[in-house]
Structure 1
Amino acid sequence: MKKKIALIGYGALSKIFLDLFKDYLADDYEINGILIRNDEKRREAEENGYKTYKTLDELHLHNPDYVAEFASASAIKEYAVDILNKGVNLIIISVGALEDNSFYDKIQNSAKNSGAKIHIASGAIGGFDLMRTFSLDPNAIAKIQTSKSPESWAGAPYLENKNLSKTEKEIIFQDNAKKAIKGFPKNVNVAVATSIAVSGVENTQVELISNPKSKDNTHKIFLESKVAKATIEITAKKDLNNPKSSVITAWSVVALLKNINDVVMFF
């Protein structure tokens, strides 16, 4: 029997996921609906043959096995506890919501009580297997450097009233992951993902770079523990419809769902 997946959101990444779904997941899963608040987007989804929901209650009526979030940190904060309390597994891409330690604890408790699982998609980075291995050392160190074009940083609260150079590479932020997600809520999910996988949002240092020559989004992760050092570098194609996001984020959700269903699991 196929497992049922409901989505939250119908933006660029959600649409990429739905296109990939047909080729990679359709044998084992089925899409049983999409939660969309925006009327215009909901009509578009329905015209493309998808069942839609206006509310989370409607979504629950169709008993999904998994809910995959392609929306925002605010959507995670609004819906996650209710989804997990119902015993439904939740896939998160807006990992920035988890910088709030009390909220992160709350959803973990909901999952433990209901038996549901929280799956953190690797998104635009990778190496979660290494990160979790390094995290066994309580003194492990994690740092992340992200480089994007100036337009990819546009609209960040931290950069309000600041003009980024269109010709020169510049460091625009240096501090921990908790402060990074506050100042760049739509840009640095990768920093929060790295921090919660290793050493926590207060203990993970973040450096953000604006580079006019960058065509894509580049992330470098530096890990160190008492047994090893590692550097992970990923350059991901940015979504042309949303340059703040990387296309590979949607692919990572496909890979996660395939891994869940495969008899061989790589981590």
Structure 2
Amino acid sequence: MQKLKLAIVGCGFLGNIVADAWQRGLLPEYELVGCLSRSAESARTLADRHGCVACDSLEQLLTLQPDYVVEAASPGVVREIAEAVLRARSNLVLLSIGALADADFLARLEACARTHGRRVHLAAGAIGGFDVLRTTALMSAIDASITTQKGPASLRNTPLFDDGLLDAAEPREVFAGNAREAIALLPTRVNVAVATALATAGVEDTCVSINSVPGFKGDDHRIEVRGEEVHAVVDIYSRTSAIAGWSVVALLRNLVAPIAF
């Protein structure tokens, strides 16, 4: 059987997880054909390790005619490449779901995918339970929230950080608002909040709380959805961001599985 062509945009930690999984034989139905990164060196390193083409531009990547393009870069990159990928009749797998908090961009992306007969797949990233979240949202009007715990040091170089967090003895809430406000403030840090919102109540009506917890390592995301007939809680802790890369591998496997979850 002819293999599906796979390309990766973003050759950092997460992109390399996908490429390494392919190299290890965990994606046997796919052929890794090319990669692209803002860092030409990163793209060459991944390509040399895995025997694919290091591309200098999106146009070059799309000449390889990938069936699936995996984005493992940033919301900004999503806005730059997504519509072009779909117009080239490639399907798109997104990790930087925060880009979809922009309602106009989301609408354009949906229209583009329909026009060209392709799909945009949202990887679970550092959360999960999309099936039960979507099911709950269909049943009735709901309240949706996501509460995130992070270590103080992980908030460095963000508007939420101050030196007092490093000396605090108790947890402190450093952000409270909705998912749209969260992604506007932290464009690369709260993709999970936007993913939750898209699966449930929408970016305006999904409440987000971010908390700095002394001594905490990694991230804990607690999603709660409550309706008239159902109450669902999804709580996932991950010590590193590796879970996001592995969620792409799981999604790609599911897309070709004879029995899909």
TM-score range, shorter chain: over 0.9
Structure 1 residues without counterparts, runs of 5 or longer: 239-245
Query: 3-state SS of the aligned residue for 2:24?
Result: helix
Partner deviation per Cα, 1:18-52 (whole Å, 9 max, x = no partner): 22223353421111000123232233234324311
Query: What is the CA-CA distance between 1:15 and the residue it aligns to?
Result: 1.2
Contact conserved, 1:24 with 1:254, CA < 8 A, in 2? no
CA distance in 1, matches of 2:88, 2:118: 8
Match of 1:4 in 2: 5
Matched, 1:214 2:209: no
Aligned to 1:20: 21
Provide the rounded CA distance (Å) in 1 between the counterparts of 2:249 and 2:138: 28
User: What is aligned with 1:258?
Assistant: 253
Tell me if the contact between 1:2 and 1:30 (Cα under 8 Å) persists in the aligned partners.
yes
**1:16 Cα deviation after fit:** 1.7
Supply the distance in 1 between the matched residues of 2:26 and 2:225 (Cα, whole angstroms).
Answer: 33
Q: Which residue of 2 aligns with 1:98?
A: 100
Residue 117 of structure 2 is aligned with which of 115, 118, 121?
115
Q: Is the 8 A contact 2:98 2:187 kept in 1?
A: yes
Report what 2:195 is aligned to.
193
Mapped partners of 1:223, 1:85: distance in 2:
36
Matched, 1:163 2:163: yes
The counterpart of 1:225, out of the listed 224, 227, 240, is 227
1:174 corresponds, among 173, 176, 193, to: 176
**Deviation of 1:187 (Å):** 1.3
Distance 2:233 2:18 in 1: 28
Letter in structure 2 aligned against 1:22: Q
Q: Which moved more, 1:43-52 or 1:57-66?
A: 43-52
Paired-residue identity, %: 37
Q: Does 1:50 align with 2:45?
A: no
SS at match of 2:92: strand
When normalised by structure 1's length, the TM-score is 0.92
Cα distance in 2 for partners of 1:229, 1:249 equals 26
Conserved 8 A contact 1:153-1:187:
no
Q: Point out the more displaced range, 16-25 or 85-94.
A: 16-25
